[in-house]
Amino acid sequence: MRNETCAECGRVLLEEEATEFEGRVYCPECLDSLTTFCRYCGDRIFRDDNEGSSDTPLCYGCYENYYTHCGRCGELIHNDRAYYMDDLDDVPYCEHCYHILYRADPAGDIPHLYGSLRSARNREIG
Ligand SMILES: [Zn+2]
Ligand SMILES: [Zn+2]
Ligand SMILES: [Zn+2]
């Protein structure tokens, strides 16, 4: 049995402490501080590679496929919760911003809650 050392802090590790990730071995503490889990698929990812937010960590693939950012406040939103001002508008908004913008738009009709909610699937086809 060879002794592994943590790639981050250099500590010599017991066999059961060593976790290999992306080709390097880490101690539990470093692994915990360097990595987190994608909220969507559960894969371990480096925090530096987190495409989501600190509340909702996401791997690149899950962010690309299922999430976007609000065009007004920058909040991470699931595609199913993204609102669009109209069918020609490609900028997604969170529910909060959507209602603020909708109210500020004098041409807008009475806003109904899910009026402009479009699914990601529809957008990819369209
Ligand atoms: Zn370490
Ligand atoms: Zn993921
Ligand atoms: Zn927003």
Alpha-carbon distance of 47 to 54, in angstroms, equals: 9
pLDDT in tens, 21-41: 999 999 999 999 999 999 999
Domain ranges, ordered by start, for the chain: 1-35, 38-63, 70-126
- CA 95 – ligand 1 centroid, Å: 41
Q: Residues 83, 94: contact at Cβ < 8 Å?
A: yes
- CA 107 – ligand 2 centroid, Å: 40
The CATH T-level fold of domain 1-35 is: Wheat Germ Agglutinin (Isolectin 2); domain 1 (3.30.60)
pLDDT in tens, 70-122: 999 999 999 999 999 877 778 999 999 998 888 776 555 544 444 445 444 44
- CA 50 – ligand 1 centroid, Å: 20
**What's 10's DSSP letter?**
-
What's the whole-model pTM score? 0.71
- CA 61 – ligand 1 centroid, Å: 28
